[in-house]
Amino acid sequence: MSSRTETDARLPASMKRKTNKDNGIWRLIWKYKALYLISIPSILYFLIFKYIPLGGSIIAFQDYNIFKGFSGSDWVGFAHFAEMFKHYDFLRILNNTVLIGLYDLIFSFPAPIILAILLNELRLVMFKRVIQTVVYMPHFLSWVVIAGMSVAILSPTTGVLNQLLVLFGIDPLYFLGDNSYIRGVLVGSGIWRDTGYGTILYLAALAGINPELYEAAQIDGANRWKQTLRITLPALLPTIMILFLLHIGKFLDFGFERVWVFLNALNTENGEILDTYIYRAGLLSQQYGYTTAVGLFKSVVGLVLVMMGNLFSRKTTGESLY
């Protein structure tokens, strides 16, 4: 025992701190071993399906041949990236993706916040639960079903929306057959489908607000609007910022199925995005290296946006992802 003590005494101070730190980490892991065991399936999921596939990004720098594989395919460096920006269709599709992403950020992101605040103001518990159930339900429908319902609602001859327009003396509009409306249809259908489900986290955050704050504000003469501005929104701000950072990380990742089911020959000009372009050029035309470069470009842009947004959030609100 004494020899071990003498040995520890001869260790440099930096090594002692490192040893103590390592022992502390292992003690912490052992203390919460049940939580770490429960997290193993999630860790394996992200490792197998998210991190290991990143190795496939090497295809972006190869003239990839499925029969030759990674080792046998010829290297082309950044040729696919140069081709990407020279392609006559790429800038148009990138512009579509950016515009749809902006519309989604401006209109879709605030929608769950507003709906959660409105639901929180309801005092009749039964009525509130019914409304929540109704607005949650569309989220569990596939985009194929959503597209079918949208076609029926927006039909220029039998659609409910066009029937209402006719009542007001407005000529029927072919929403899914006109480039002018397809972006609005894509964003609007997403708002209808996912807004209700998106309120769950905000309602949970609202439930954690101390009711005494509202009582004190009411005594001071603040109406419901002022209480929302001074109490509700500041309490929601940490949740809003975290979800905002996660949202901008998917800025160029609008979703393949969400768009593909609405596209046709009449609205492709303004409706096609990078995800549908990758499908057409990659799977249908078998340009694997080129479309991997497009996907890698999209991922890098998302990473940069998250890092910039995280830095801005940390400096302004103190909230960040890391």
Domain ranges of the chain: 2-52, 78-316
- This prediction has a pTM of 0.82
Give yes or no for residue 139 having a pLDDT over 80: yes
Confidence of residue 283 (pLDDT cuts 50, 70, 90): confident
Percent pLDDT > 90 in the chain is 36
Task: Report the chain's terminal Cα–Cα distance, integer Å.
Answer: 43
> What does the pLDDT look like over 224-268, one tens digit per residue?
889 988 899 998 988 898 899 888 888 888 889 999 999 988 899
Least confident window among 12-21, 54-63, 196-205, 252-261? 12-21
> What does the pLDDT look like over 163-195, one tens digit per residue?
998 988 888 888 988 888 999 999 999 999 999
Task: Please give the average per-residue pLDDT across 56-60, as a whole number.
Answer: 89
Residues 252 and 96: their CA atoms lie apart, in Å, by 10
CB atoms within 10 A of CB 9: 8
- For 78-316, the fitting CATH number among 3.30.450.40, 1.10.3720.10, 1.10.10.60, 1.20.1250.20 is 1.10.3720.10
Residues 320 and 96: their CA atoms lie apart, in Å, by 29
What local confidence, expressed as pLDDT, does residue 54 receive? 86
Q: Which of 139, 144, 141, 152 is nearest to 111 (CA)?
A: 139
